[in-house]
Structure 1
Amino acid sequence: MSTWLPLESNPDVLTKYIHKLGVSKEWSLTDVVGLDPEMLEWIPQPVKAIILLFPISETYEKHRAEEHESLMSDPGSYPEDLFYMRQLTSNACGTVALIHSVANCKSISLSDGILKNFLENAKNLTPEERGKALENDKSFTEGHHELAKEGQTVANPEEKVNHHFIAFVNKDGTLYELDGRKHFPINHGATSEESFVQDAANVCRKFMARDPDELRFTVMAITATQE
């Protein structure tokens, strides 16, 4: 497994990254400052994806192992056009979360470039093959490293990273958690354009409830760019 520089949870840096990948400048990342219903009302609309950065704790890993065992016996079904990929590159979780977010939102337009090419080449691959394709994609690797260096802290690829990015999307009226460390998308039930933010926030709160003494959670949203 190759190792990339970790990305910071910095909306400005990540916005620059998605634009570099070819995402229309109509869309940007913004911080979600609180998960209370009143605070969520302040997020610019429309919201196309929610991204959660959370600490990988012993409690979380125990939950993930139990969830994996349950899904292996009954993985359920999900739409064939749900774009899902495994993370096979260390520290690439930020990029994988952004790919999951954009690839599953057809209203986000892409210009010719790095991400459009990747999605076109990967559309018929398995999740594992997509992860390998990302690892071998020089354009993605260079773009990721360039933006990682723009963070406010010095990134060290050898330093163990104990945080992880995942994405939440509304796909055909179902809330999916897309995590490259997992073998399957996680179905969190019905949602809608109107309730998506609240529904995703409810799942984020469950992550926080598993580690009540942890404060190192960050939530961001991909939203319409504000002038």
Structure 2
Amino acid sequence: MSTWIPLESNPEVLTKYIHKLGVSPAWSLSDVIGLDDEMLEWIPRPAKALILLFPITDTYEKHRLEEHERIKMTAETEKHPADLFYMRQITHNACGTVALIHSVANNKDVDIANGVLKNFLKKAQTLSPEERGEALEKDEDFTAGHQELAQEGQTNADDHMKTIHHFIAFVNKDGLLYELDGRKSFPIQHGKTSEETFIHDAAKVCKEFMARDPNDMRFTIMVLAAAQD
């Protein structure tokens, strides 16, 4: 298992990254300043994914294990959209790239030009979530792109190789709100949503993450949305 330099939660750098991967310049990432309804109205539309960066604490890990056991009981009977793109994170510190892949791959109207990401998604289409994670680790072009962009943030990424933060993505897939986390064995469904309510529905789940660690302020949120002129 290899280790990448962790990505910084920097929308300017991550926007440059997705464009380099082939995502259309019509889309970009920006910070979500607050989760109150009035603040969410400032988010550019259409918004296609929320990306949450949060601290991996003992409280969160306890919740994750309990959630795993609960969902494992129904995993064989729970149905997900056939084209839901979900992958496991095999590579250390690749969570930022995995979250971006989840965000783009599950939004068909986000155009992707020929290049690194389109090639990867084509190869990964018929693979299992675990095989997709392994394919990402072996993809030399993806590795090079990640490592290059990880060093463009405002902090020294090499000082944070043992990161305690984790990126995940929230998307609206066929009217259902999904949490896509490469550290989990399953995609997590959070109920019904719509294009109109997606941001507010995903924000509610982000608030639940924060409520589990109310004394920790190390949360940041970005949105993948239409680029602003």
TM-score bin (small chain): over 0.9
Q: Any conservation in 2 of the 1:5–1:157 contact (CA below 8 Å)? A: no
Q: Give the alignment partner of residue 155 of structure 2, picking from 153, 156, 162.
A: 153
Q: Any conservation in 2 of the 1:104–1:169 contact (CA below 8 Å)? A: yes
Q: Any conservation in 1 of the 2:96–2:167 contact (CA below 8 Å)? A: yes
Tell me the alpha carbon deviations over residues 1-26 of structure 1, each in whole angstroms, 9 at most, x when there is no partner.
10000000000000000000000000
Residues 26-175 of structure 1 mapped to structure 2, 5 A cutoff: 26-75=26-75, 76-156=78-158, 159-175=161-177
Q: TM-score, normalised by structure 2?
A: 0.98
One-letter amino acid matched to 1:167: A
C-alpha displacement at 1:79, in angstroms?
1.0
The whole-number CA distance in structure 2 between the counterparts of 1:49 and 1:187 is 14
- Could you list the runs of 5+ residues in structure 2 that have no partner in the other structure? none
Flag the 1:32–1:141 CA change in 2: closer, same or farther, 3 A: same
**What does residue 17 of structure 1 align with?**
17
C-alpha displacement at 1:74, in angstroms?
1.0
Q: Percent identity?
A: 69
One-letter amino acid matched to 1:36: D
The whole-number CA distance in structure 1 between the counterparts of 2:26 and 2:125 is 24
C-alpha displacement at 1:71, in angstroms?
1.2
Q: Any conservation in 2 of the 1:26–1:225 contact (CA below 8 Å)? A: yes
Aligned residue-pair number: 227
Q: Any conservation in 2 of the 1:86–1:179 contact (CA below 8 Å)? A: yes
Residues 200-211 of structure 1 mapped to structure 2, 5 A cutoff: 200-211=202-213
Tell me the alpha carbon deviations over residues 92-138 of structure 1, each in whole angstroms, 9 at most, x when there is no partner.
00000000000000000000000000000000000000000000000
The whole-number CA distance in structure 1 between the counterparts of 2:140 and 2:114 is 16
Q: Any conservation in 2 of the 1:4–1:157 contact (CA below 8 Å)? A: no
Q: Any conservation in 2 of the 1:114–1:140 contact (CA below 8 Å)? A: yes
C-alpha displacement at 1:159, in angstroms?
3.0
Q: Any conservation in 1 of the 2:55–2:166 contact (CA below 8 Å)? A: yes
**What does residue 3 of structure 2 align with?**
3
Tell me the alpha carbon deviations over residues 176-198 of structure 1, each in whole angstroms, 9 at most, x when there is no partner.
00000000000000000000000
Flag the 1:172–1:216 CA change in 2: closer, same or farther, 3 A: same
The whole-number CA distance in structure 1 between the counterparts of 2:161 and 2:27 is 32
Q: Any conservation in 1 of the 2:6–2:161 contact (CA below 8 Å)? A: no
**What does residue 186 of structure 2 align with?**
184
The whole-number CA distance in structure 2 between the counterparts of 1:107 and 1:34 is 26
One-letter amino acid matched to 2:8: E
The whole-number CA distance in structure 2 between the counterparts of 1:130 and 1:183 is 13
Q: Give the alignment partner of residue 201 of structure 2, picking from 177, 182, 199.
A: 199
The whole-number CA distance in structure 2 between the counterparts of 1:193 and 1:157 is 39
Q: Any conservation in 2 of the 1:6–1:157 contact (CA below 8 Å)? A: no
C-alpha displacement at 1:204, in angstroms?
0.1
